[in-house]
A and B are shown apart, each in its own frame.
Chain A
Amino acid sequence: MAYHSFLLEPISCHSWNKDRTQIALCPNNHDVHIYKKDGTKWTKIHELKEHNGQVTGIDWAPESNRIVTCGTDRNAYVWSLKGEVWKPTLVILRINRAARCVSWSPKENKFAVGSGSRLISICYFEQENDWWVCKHIKKPIRSTVLSLDWHPNNVLLAAGSCDFKCRVFSAYIKEVEEKPGPTVWGSKMPFGEGAGGGWVHGVCFSHSGNRLAWTSHDSTVQSDLSVSLSSETLPLLCVSFITENSLVAAGHDCYPVLFVYDGTKGSVTFGGKLDVPKQTSQRGISARERFQNLDRRATSSETTEQGLESLHKNSISQISVLEGGKSKCSTFCTTGMDGGMVTWDVKSLESDLKDLKIV
C-alpha cells in the first residue's frame, strides 16, 4: 500500500491513462496536471490550462487516448495529444450551472456530463461538422447530478443525484450506434429508479452490468436489490465493484471499506475495513495518565487516538480501478482531500487482514 502525497491541496478528481504510467489530476484549481511515473517518483509533465473554473471531473479514454475534463465554468474540453502537447476542443454543453462529473462511454464514442442544472449532457462527435454535439436528459431529474457510470453495453447510464435517487437512463444516440439488445434493466428503452434517504454520491455498475450499487449521504450503501445497508461509518463518497460480488467504497471516514453483494440472499453486507494499521505495542497506562484522560475526555480508557491511523488523513473522494478491471481487480487507487494518493493491492490486503474474503 503505497501512499504518495502529491500536494497539500485536495485532489478534486483524477484519471489514469491506459498503461497506468500517467495520472491526470486537478489540484483544486482551474488546471489539470499530468504526472508521469518514474520508478517510485512522480514528475509533472503537462499542465492543461483552459478552464475558467475549478475542474470537477476528468476522464482519460484508454483506447483513443483522449482526456475529457469538465468544470464549474459550465464547459467541457476534449483534449487530444498532438505530438508532445495536449490540444483542447471546446464542447458546448448548454448548461447554466456547473458541470460536476464526466465519464467516457465504454466504446469512447460519446461521454456523459452530470451538472448542477439538473440534467445530463450526452455528447458525441458529429463528423460532418467536425464538432461535438450534445443531447440532454432532463426528465425526471430534480436536482444536481453527482455521479455517473456507464453500463458495458454503451447505452445505459446510471446517474446518482441530489434528489436522493439513483436512476438508470438510456443514452442511446442513433447517429453513432445501433440499437442495443435487451438487458436486465428492461428490453425497451428502460428506466429504473431507486430511492434513498440522502444525496447519491457514488454509483457503479458491475463488470457485467447486471448489478448496480450506490452510496448515499445517509451512510447507506444500496443496490438494485431492494434492501439497503445502513453503514456504521460516515457517509461514503465513492464506490466501485472489484469483482462481481464485492464492492469497495470509501468516504469521509478516510479508509476504504469492503462490501459483499450476495445475489442469492438478496443483500449487501459489510465485509470489513481495508485499512488496519499495525497495532502499536500496548504499554500499560500510568495512574497519572488515567487521571489526565478522565479530566480531558471523561473516560479513563486506554486508547489514545491522537490522530487518524488510516493512510489517508482526510476524506477519500474518488476510487479508481487500476489493474484487472471491475471483474477481477488486483489493484485500485484512492485520492482524497489530503492531496494524497494510495494504491491498494488486493492480494496483500487479503493476506494482511485474515478474515477478509473477497469473493
Chain B
Amino acid sequence: MSKNTVSNRFRTVDVDEYDENKFVDEEDGGENQLPDIVHVASLTPLCTGNLMEALQAVLKNPPINTKNQNVKDCAEGLVLKVLSAFKSSDVDKGVQSLDKNGVDLLMKYIYKGFETPSDNSSAVLLQWHEKALSAGGLGCIVRVLTARKTV
C-alpha cells in the first residue's frame, strides 16, 4: 500500500510534456505588425483611384508571422476592400503586375476571403481566383494548402 493515499495531485501532471519524443513545432516570434502603416499606405492610392499601387501596397508585409488574430483580420479586410475596388476588366492587369510570390500571396488572401463570405465578396473573389489560377497554376493553390504560416 503506497504511503500517500490522500493527495490526487499526481493526476494533474501532464505526462506528455515530459515525453522526449514529443514534436515541438518551431515557433517564430512575430512582431506585432502595425496594420496602420499598411492601412494608410493602401488607402491613399485607393482614394486617388490608383488601384495598382493600392494592390502592391496591401500585399506588402503580410502578417504571416504574427499570432495576433486582430492584425490578420484587419489585413484581410483591407485586401478585400482593394480587391473589390477593381473593375472586372482590370483584374487581369492587376494579377499580371504581381510577381510569383505576389500571386501566391494573393491566392492565400483569396482563400482566406472565401472562408467568411459577405454580400458580394465571393463573386469578386472568384473572378480574382480565375485570373490568379491562370497566372500561378495549380502549384499556387497547393502552396496555399500546404503553407504552415497562414496569412
Say whether A and B bind each other: yes
- Interface on A for B, CB 8 Å cutoff? 142-143, 164, 197-198, 217-220, 230-235, 253
Say whether B137 contacts A218, CB under 8 Å: no
B146 in the interface (beta carbon within 8 A):
yes
Instruction: Across the interface, name the chain A residue whose C-beta is closest to B23.
Output: A142
Residues from chain A with a CB closer than 8 A to the CB of B23 are 142-143
Residues from chain B with a CB closer than 8 A to the CB of A253 are 138
CB distance from A230 to the nearest CB of B (A): 6
Query: In the docked arrangement, what's the CA distance between A197 and B104, Å?
Result: 13
Residues from chain A with a CB closer than 8 A to the CB of B143 are 197, 218-220, 230
User: What are 13 sample pairs from A and B whose C-beta atoms fall under 8 A apart?
Assistant: A143-B23, A197-B147, A217-B142, A218-B146, A219-B143, A219-B146, A230-B101, A231-B137, A232-B136, A232-B138, A235-B139, A235-B142, A253-B138
Query: In the docked arrangement, what's the CA distance between A235 and B146, Å?
Result: 10
Instruction: Across the interface, name the chain B residue whose C-beta is closest to A235.
Output: B142
Say whether A234 contacts B138, CB under 8 Å: yes
Which B residues between 131 and 151 are near A, CB-CB below 8 angstroms?
136-140, 142-143, 146-148
- Interface on B for A, CB 8 Å cutoff? 23, 100-101, 104, 136-140, 142-143, 146-148
Query: In the docked arrangement, what's the CA distance between A105 and B138, Å?
Result: 36
CB distance from B67 to the nearest CB of A (A): 19
Query: In the docked arrangement, what's the CA distance between A283 and B89, Å?
Result: 30
A197-B146 contact in complex given A230-B100, A230-B104, C-beta closer than 8 Å: yes
A233-B148 contact in complex given A143-B23, A218-B143, A219-B143, C-beta closer than 8 Å: no
Query: In the docked arrangement, what's the CA distance between A271 and B140, Å?
Result: 18
CB distance from B132 to the nearest CB of A (A): 12
Query: In the docked arrangement, what's the CA distance between A233 and B143, Å?
Result: 11
Query: In the docked arrangement, what's the CA distance between A217 and B141, Å?
Result: 12
Residues from chain B with a CB closer than 8 A to the CB of A217 are 142, 146
Instruction: Across the interface, name the chain A residue whose C-beta is closest to B143.
Output: A218
Query: In the docked arrangement, what's the CA distance between A220 and B139, Å?
Result: 8
User: Residue B139 contacts which of A143, A164, A232 (CB distance < 8 angstroms)?
Assistant: A232
User: Residue B142 contacts which of A142, A143, A164, A219 (CB distance < 8 angstroms)?
Assistant: A219
A218-B147 contact in complex given A142-B23, A230-B100, A230-B104, C-beta closer than 8 Å: yes
Residues from chain B with a CB closer than 8 A to the CB of A197 are 143, 146-148
Residues from chain A with a CB closer than 8 A to the CB of B139 are 219-220, 230-235
Instruction: Across the interface, name the chain B residue whose C-beta is closest to A142.
Output: B23
Residues from chain A with a CB closer than 8 A to the CB of B100 are 230
Query: In the docked arrangement, what's the CA distance between A233 and B139, Å?
Result: 5
Which of A164, A197, A218 has the most chain B CB atoms closer than 10 A to its own CB? Answer: A218
Instruction: Across the interface, name the chain A residue whose C-beta is closest to B147.
Output: A197
CB distance from A267 to the nearest CB of B (A): 12
Query: In the docked arrangement, what's the CA distance between A253 and B146, Å?
Result: 17
Residues from chain A with a CB closer than 8 A to the CB of B101 are 230
CB distance from A119 to the nearest CB of B (A): 11
